[in-house]
């Protein structure tokens, strides 16, 4: 594109778009896909997408729904039967007593994040956000003219949140606190002690809490996920957000939800109904089946993730210059590569160009991620073995 055309285009684009950073994850993915189209064999460890097929019973429920002509709009809030099934799930698994009218069905968790942040943040408001973090939690506040204020997740503390640091970041402008547990990108799971401390801070300072729990079912080694909304005094100030993408391997189905007090759900729906109207009806119907007819599908996926994780962690920690903790949840390993002395971006490019392995540079998730790589182990056991061997050889060559 010529400079003249670029200048002309820039005059027509809203200035707020300068606040948005493109997805660094998708940048890596697009480059990897281009290499594949050119005939390269690339191993994908960059995308947070389960490699399992959606369980057969869910797909059959969708087919049956389509055959029955279930192809029309539902309520903007989502079908009452699905919202009832979600409320049952939250009561049974998360120990939170939500009514169906306290639930909004969204088109994936991404929409839920956008709707919630748009509903509570005014220009100049501050929102406390982990660093490193999935970048949507910084991009959307900036788009709204709000200010994301970072608090650190440190490897030496198992990526737990430092309560004293969070307290120190609260000001008169602070509106909300973002919690992601299990965490993307670190794989950390917040302890009950940490959650109770954060609940105390939220109540003392009248903060809203945005609880991203989309990885809640993917926990290992007996670790227990706790929903902060289940703690005393927290349901009324928490947006509990989740979806079916990760646990049920339904990323392309785009089904998420928000649970919150009914008055907040009514406000969220103002954005949702103008933005997306409703989630696809047949996907909603299949999701009811997913929630109510599950047997051991999720547990089998988690067992296989655990096997892959254990191999990858051993292999990575055996490579001079690299190290990592064993993640307690999600399907990411946050690899410490600081001893190699190159930036995360340069290292990720090097690995993709020379070893044909796609990983995400840690700085994509914020300054706290510099010096790290995020590796998704949502790939086959065989590809993880080959990928770790390619990683070993590439690092050896880089170190000379």
Cite the residue boundaries of each domain of the chain with CATH code 3.40.640.10.
72-293
CATH number of 72-293: 3.40.640.10
Alpha carbon separation from 152 to 57, 160, 333, 367 (Å, rounded):
41, 9, 18, 9
Cite the residue boundaries of each domain of the chain with CATH code 3.90.1150.10.
3-53+297-393
Which class would CATH give 3-53+297-393?
alpha beta
Provide the CB-side half-sphere exposure for 326 (13 A, CA): 13
Q: Taking the model in full, what pTM does it have?
A: 0.94
Name the residue among 302, 303, 298, 310 with its Cα closest to residue 385: 310
Q: Could you list the pLDDT tens digit for every one of the 400 residues in the chain?
A: 555 555 555 678 888 888 777 787 889 999 999 999 999 999 999 998 999 999 999 999 999 999 999 999 999 999 999 999 999 999 999 999 999 999 999 999 999 999 999 999 999 999 999 999 999 999 999 999 999 999 999 999 999 999 999 999 999 999 999 999 999 999 999 999 999 999 999 999 999 999 999 999 999 999 999 999 999 999 999 999 999 999 999 999 999 999 999 999 999 999 999 999 999 999 999 999 999 999 999 999 999 999 999 999 999 999 999 999 999 999 999 999 999 999 999 999 999 999 999 999 999 999 999 999 999 999 999 999 999 999 999 999 999 7
Token reading at 293: 């007819």
- Is it true that the peptide bond before 182 is cis, omega within 30 degrees of 0? yes
Residue 337 CA to residue 343 CA, distance in Å, equals: 9
Alpha carbon separation from 103 to 106, 181, 290, 295, 325 (Å, rounded):
10, 20, 17, 24, 36
Residue 371 CA to residue 339 CA, distance in Å, equals: 8
Alpha carbon separation from 120 to 113, 151, 209, 210, 214 (Å, rounded):
11, 20, 11, 10, 21
Name the residue among 311, 324, 279, 336 with its Cα closest to residue 386: 311
Residue 272 CA to residue 104 CA, distance in Å, equals: 9
Residue 83 CA to residue 101 CA, distance in Å, equals: 7
């Amino acid at each position: 594109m010529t400079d003249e055309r670029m200048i002309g285009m820039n005059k027509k684009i809203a200035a707020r778009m300068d606040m948005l950073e493109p997805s660094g994850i998708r940048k890596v993915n697009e480059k990897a896909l281009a290499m594949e189209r050119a005939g390269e064999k690339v191993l994908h460890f960059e995308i947070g997408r389960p490699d399992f097929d959606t369980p057969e019973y869910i797909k059959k429920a969708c087919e049956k729904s389509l055959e029955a002509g279930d192809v029309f709009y539902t309520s903007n809030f989502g079908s009452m039967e699905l919202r009832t099934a979600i409320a049952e799930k939250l009561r049974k698994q998360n120990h939170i007593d939500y009514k169906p009218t306290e639930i909004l069905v969204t088109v994936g968790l991404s929409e839920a994040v956008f709707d919630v942040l748009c509903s509570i943040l005014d220009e100049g408001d501050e929102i406390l956000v982990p660093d490193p973090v999935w970048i949507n939690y910084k991009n959307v506040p900036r788009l709204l003219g709000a200010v994301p204020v970072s608090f650190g997740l440190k490897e030496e503390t198992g990526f737990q949140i430092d309560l004293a640091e969070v307290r120190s970041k609260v000001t008169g402008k602070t509106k909300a606190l973002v919690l992601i547990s299990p965490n993307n990108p670190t794989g950390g799971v917040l302890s009950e002690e940490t959650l109770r401390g954060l609940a105390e801070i939220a109540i003392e300072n009248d903060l809203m809490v945005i609880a991203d729990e989309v990885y809640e079912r993917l926990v290992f080694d007996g670790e227990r996920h706790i929903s902060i909304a289940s703690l005393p005094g927290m349901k009324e100030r928490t947006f509990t957000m989740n979806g079916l993408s990760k646990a049920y391997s339904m990323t392309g189905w785009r089904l998420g939800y928000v649970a919150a007090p009914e008055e907040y759900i009514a406000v969220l729906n103002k954005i949702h109904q103008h933005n997306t109207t409703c989630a696809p009806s047949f996907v909603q119907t299949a999701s009811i089946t997913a929630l109510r007819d599950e047997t051991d599908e999720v547990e089998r996926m988690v067992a296989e993730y655990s096997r892959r994780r254990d191999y990858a962690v051993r292999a990575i920690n055996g490579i001079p210059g690299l190290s990592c903790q064993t993640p307690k949840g999600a399907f990411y390993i946050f690899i410490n590569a600081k001893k190699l002395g190159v930036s995360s971006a340069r290292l990720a490019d090097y690995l993709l160009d020379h070893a044909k392995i796609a990983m995400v540079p840690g700085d994509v998730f914020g300054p706290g991620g510099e010096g790290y790589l995020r590796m998704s182990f949502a790939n086959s056991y065989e590809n993880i073995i080959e990928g770790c061997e390619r990683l070993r050889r590439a690092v050896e060559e880089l170190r000379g």
